[in-house]
Amino acid sequence: MADDYFGFRFSVLSQNFEPAFKLFLDTMRAPNFNKEAIDRQKEIQKAEMLLRRISDAYPRDLVKRELFGDFSYALPPVGTEAGLAAVTPESLKSWYEAYVRNRTPVVVVIGDTKGTSLASIFVRNFSGSRFQSAKLTQKFAKPVEKGHSGDQNWDRKESLIFVGFQAPPEDDEDASAVSVLQDFVETREGFPTAER
């Protein structure tokens, strides 16, 4: 999962690709949204949320919240407690129908095979009139009108200070300037790692 996409990944020797891909397709085409299994995953997710609150990633989450406000980029990758509470077998089925079932995927093949040798498998399984492109919103994060600062306590014996700026989208003509700045910051000894 990332800010702008989600996906599935599996790794297998090319000689075993077809049977492995069949298992993957069976799971993707007929997922089991069993309440007990979902409740178990929700407990695991809650634990990940707690761990994130005491990790070095938590201050980055706070910076993103300040930079992006109500926009989805402000949400932590492990989700929110309110979002997790809303997950039910019915809501998962609805989400699956809207974003996975019969949606045209982007497929990337890397490894000990030629992609063209597998093309017919993907065409057979992901094409036809029933497949549609997902309808994505074209919303963008609103620019920050003024600076913000915030303090947050956490259960660590150290302090972290983050300074964040909104950057242009990756495909923007100014994105290369941000990449140069990022590389400059990352190569300076003693500087923290920059994130785009």
> Does any domain span residue 121?
yes
Q: Are 79 and 45 in contact (CB under 8 A)?
A: yes
> Does any domain span residue 180?
no
How many degrees, rounded to 5, is the angle at CA 145 between CA 183 and CA 181? Answer: 10
> Does any domain span residue 22?
yes
DSSP β-bridge partners for residue 132: 103
> Does any domain span residue 108?
yes
pLDDT of residue 3: 63
Query: Domain residues for 83?
Result: 14-146
pLDDT of residue 77: 86
> Does any domain span residue 64?
yes
Handedness of CA 49, 54, 60, 62 (dihedral sign): positive
User: What is the end-to-end Cα distance of the chain in Å, rounded?
Assistant: 17
Helix 115-126 to helix 17-29 angle (10° resolution) is 30
Total structural domains in the chain? 1
The CATH number for 29's domain is: 3.30.830.10
Q: What is the pLDDT along the chain (196 residues), one digit of tens a residue?
A: 666 678 888 888 888 888 999 998 888 888 889 999 999 999 999 999 999 988 888 888 888 888 888 888 888 889 899 999 999 999 999 999 888 888 888 888 888 877 677 888 888 888 888 888 777 666 777 777 777 677 777 677 777 677 777 777 767 787 788 778 777 776 655 545 555 4
Nearest to 3 by CA among 91, 66, 64: 64
Q: Are 89 and 33 in contact (CB under 8 A)?
A: yes
> Does any domain span residue 50?
yes
pLDDT of residue 196: 46
Counting beta carbons within 10 angstroms of the beta carbon of residue 64, is it exposed (0 to 12), middle (13 to 18) or buried (19 or more)? Answer: buried
pLDDT of residue 193: 52
For 157-172, the pLDDT digits (tens) are: 777 677 777 777 767 7
For 47-87, the pLDDT digits (tens) are: 999 999 888 888 888 888 888 888 888 888 898 999 999 99
